[in-house]
Amino acid sequence: MTDIDRRGLLMAAGALPLAGMATAATAATPAAQGQPLIGDPHLPEVRKARWAIVGLGTFAVGEMIPGFVASSRAEMTAFVSGNPQKAHDLGARYGVTRFYDYQSFDRIKDDPTIDCVYIALPVALHAEYAIRALKAGKHVLCEKPMASTVAECEAMIAAAKAANRQLGIAYRIHFEPVNNDAVRRLRAGEIGKLRYFSGDAGFSANPSWPPHKWRLQKALAGGGSMYDIGIYALNAALWCVDEAPVSVTAVYSTPAGDPRFTEVEGGVEWRLRFPSGISAAGSSSYCYSFVSHQRMFGSDGNIALEPAMDYTNINMTIQRDQGPMTIRPGVPGTQFSAQIDAFSQAALTNTPHLTSGEMGLRDIKLIQAIYASADGDGQMVKV
């Protein structure tokens, strides 16, 4: 091999500087300069979904409206309220300039600044306002529980189909990072095979506080503690077990003679049985002080979430042979904006939302079965 051949091989292997590199310091440095857009680079949709908020109550104002402010895919354009003073005050605070009341609500049909409607009314009003919004051609995110009756839930789903619009139920926990991490660990087998789920959810209802007052009236609430708060543990059980249950048993645990509970149950203890042999059980109450607790019992360990469904404070503990481990893998408060962003994306692309109307209907059917079993003092109800 000549010296020239050897030099060529070394240059190809990068062992020697390429010709001209030695003089690069003296060459002109290229300047950055703008270029035309070439072809269709499939840039993601950047428009924000525009929302009307229906019902400016405790939860909407305290949690969801700040969630809209923190979201990246949504903006609030309209408030719908029976209290114009409150609506205008909040409008001034949040830059919202369009206002409707419950009578003028159908006029949102002609308002091109509204894509989506978020419904945060007492439960018995969910179906009416969801259907009116869908008929007006808007997508609807409706608070949990979906509606008072199975027939109302079915009518909401039918209205969404007829309008070719998305209907979602606001199960915020599906967008909460700690709960998601717990389910991810369960699915990854970190506690072996799931053998049992338990979940308790409740608070002490105050009959003189307006947001609790309607919760104790069947005509506005649809049901009792199981509708309002027990639904979290029920929904979580179904998320974790990931099977459709075959039967339900339940008993009421309403304190005898408690004057708060003439129309709805104060408490209920329930159990679902699944085809694989697993069971899930829980309690729901308006009579014990605030509890939100879930535990997944696996063959090799267990995962506990306590509290499991707070707005800002959710705690996960994993217990295995080597001892307990406490984890906070995310900021629970982001669940509101994450949910709003996810529904905004579903609406803008007209694709189904993760927590759909069908999920809301499934849960109302199961709660009705829980009530049927409890009415029969624990008789088994097939579902």
Which residues are the active-site residues? Answer: 144, 232
Among the listed ranges 43-51, 66-74, 78-86, 325-333, the one in contact with ligand NDP (CB under 6 A) is 78-86
Among the listed ranges 22-30, 56-64, 199-207, 243-251, the one in contact with ligand NDP (CB under 6 A) is 56-64
Candidates 50, 51, 52, 57; binder of ligand NDP (CB under 6 A) is 57
307 upstream amide cis, omega within 30 of 0: yes
Nearest-CB residue to ligand NDP?
57
- For residue 86, the minimal CB distance to ligand NDP (Å) is 6
- Does residue 144 touch ligand NDP according to CB under 6 A? yes
- For residue 56, the minimal CB distance to ligand NDP (Å) is 3
Q: What is the residue-wise DSSP string for 86-120? A: HHHHHHHHHT--EEE-TTTGGGGGG-TT-SEEEE-
Among the listed ranges 208-216, 233-241, 293-301, 363-371, the one in contact with ligand NDP (CB under 6 A) is 208-216
| CA 382 and chain centroid, separation | 28
- Does residue 72 touch ligand NDP according to CB under 6 A? no
Alpha carbons 228 and 243: distance in angstroms, whole number: 23
- Does residue 203 touch ligand NDP according to CB under 6 A? no
Window 101-120: residues binding ligand NDP (CB under 6 A): 120
User: In terms of CB distance, is 119 or 240 closer to ligand NDP?
Assistant: 119
Q: Residue 358 contacts by C-beta under 8 Å, 6 or more apart in sequence?
A: 157
H-type alpha helices, the chain: 3-12, 58-59, 65-70, 84-94, 126-135, 150-163, 177-187, 210-213, 218-221, 225, 231-241, 335-349, 357-375
Alpha carbons 304 and 293: distance in angstroms, whole number: 7
Candidates 67, 91, 122, 230; binder of ligand NDP (CB under 6 A) is 122
Alpha carbons 380 and 226: distance in angstroms, whole number: 18
Parallel, antiparallel or unpaired: strands 194-202 and 98-100: unpaired
Alpha carbons 330 and 184: distance in angstroms, whole number: 13
Candidates 8, 11, 24, 82; binder of ligand NDP (CB under 6 A) is 82
Window 151-170: residues binding ligand NDP (CB under 6 A): 170
Q: Let me know: does 145 contact 123? Beta carbons within 8 Å.
A: yes
Q: What is the greatest pairwise CA distance in the chain?
A: 106
- Does residue 307 touch ligand NDP according to CB under 6 A? no
User: In terms of CB distance, is 125 or 182 closer to ligand NDP?
Assistant: 125
Alpha carbons 136 and 125: distance in angstroms, whole number: 17
- Does residue 143 touch ligand NDP according to CB under 6 A? yes
Candidates 121, 201, 241, 340; binder of ligand NDP (CB under 6 A) is 121
- What separation in angstroms does the CA of 363 have from each of 32, 182, 267, 326? 58, 21, 17, 30
- Does residue 329 touch ligand NDP according to CB under 6 A? no
Among the listed ranges 28-36, 210-218, 278-286, 371-379, the one in contact with ligand NDP (CB under 6 A) is 210-218
- Does residue 172 touch ligand NDP according to CB under 6 A? yes
Whose CA is closest to 144, among 267, 247, 233?
233
Residues at the site binding ligand NDP, with contacts judged by CB under 6 A? 55-60, 81-83, 86, 120-123, 125, 143-144, 170, 172, 210-211, 214, 220, 228
